[in-house]
Structure 1
């Protein structure tokens, strides 16, 4: 009898935890990679499905880490299996443009050459082109939030830090 009472109490104790977990907020996650050239210009890709340019990367899928998502997206978008470097930026973003709040991770992709870019194999019908841009040029091609994040990511590379942001602005 003690065993059945014990089992009943265990089942009852699990239910509130499941209810708690079911009620937790859901946040979207995305991961991108900052590639640079020797002049400290950033690599931007031109997607076919939206007007603004991006850094290689995308949404983190279910049961996938941000690190694995960044590696997968780089392989899919530009055909590179180059190992990724350290985490540069973690950016909390508020809900916007019908998207829920989220957390964006930016990893260091290291230095590339023009020859590396010329050898890239773009995802069929997803990426139209890729090229290096100064931060000023990038500001004219990407959304303001990404432009701010790129500036912080370049600082993170220079300072050897991982930077915490809210809306692309450094908070720690």
Structure 2
């Protein structure tokens, strides 16, 4: 039989139970104010849902904490997850305060809403501990896409651009920086992977913020100086065929004719001189 759970003046009273489903009424100072339920998804994983009203975040937090502890200690679960419609910000916040980490967004088809996926694992540090607080906060913070690109010129002052397999516009060599990777290290890795060359990454020229464009989220481009080389260096490059069709030395006319809008705008700003350390690119036409 499901037990009654208590946290001071807040009580979870059993309302139903089965091998798959365990429900509680949330009772505060003798008054029923909501419900919380656990459902077994498999032998070690449960899902949790609750309704404590839109303005009762503290009550929801206490109820969810009690239910989580019950799932781990009495039901033997090792993972409890919640799938919360994104517009229910109070419930997302309550889940985080209760100790659940945000893991991503589950897209909804048709009229189904997108849902935040949050979960707590049995051996996660307690949410009120230093390690637990940092882990929960870090999981919910926004991230920013970072791209590292290199400006490489030949003896005639032309700029190296890459003709890509996945879009029509040409772009500067480089790519997306991996999680935990320094931008300069990411650029060196991308150049070795995609062009087959090892380079010494020079000084940072500018950080160029790009607004959202054509379905891509906004991003920050770190543009590094790769110096001047003999144009024949391209003859020894080994291109990654899945991403790079060819590499081209381009003068300003070639850049305007073939490059991506962001690259055109950035290279024109470089050529104009007095480039700031940080700049914001204008939104390009869709």
Check whether TM > 0.5: yes
Gaps of 5+ in 1: 1-9
Which structure has more relative contact order (CA 8 Å, sep 6+)? It is: 1
Give the number of the structure whose alpha-carbon radius of gyration is greater: 2
User: Is 1:37 paired with 2:157?
Assistant: no
- 2:261 aligns to what? 144
- 1:119 aligns to what? 236
Higher helix content, 1 or 2:
1
CA distance in 2, matches of 1:100, 1:121: 30
Deviation per CA, 1:84-125, whole angstroms, max 9, x where unpaired?
111112011222221222111111111122211122111133
Gaps of 5+ in 2: 1-125
Q: How many residues align?
A: 157
CA distance in 2, matches of 1:145, 1:82: 24
- 1:20 aligns to what? 137
Counterparts of residues 12-161 of structure 1 (less than 5 Å): 12=128, 14=130, 15-154=132-271
Could you tell me whether the CA contact under 8 Å between 2:158 and 2:251 is conserved in 1? yes
Distance 1:148 1:105, change over 3 A: same
TM-score after normalising by structure 2: 0.50
Q: Once superposed, what is the RMSD of the aligned Cα atoms? A: 2.3
Higher strand content, 1 or 2:
2
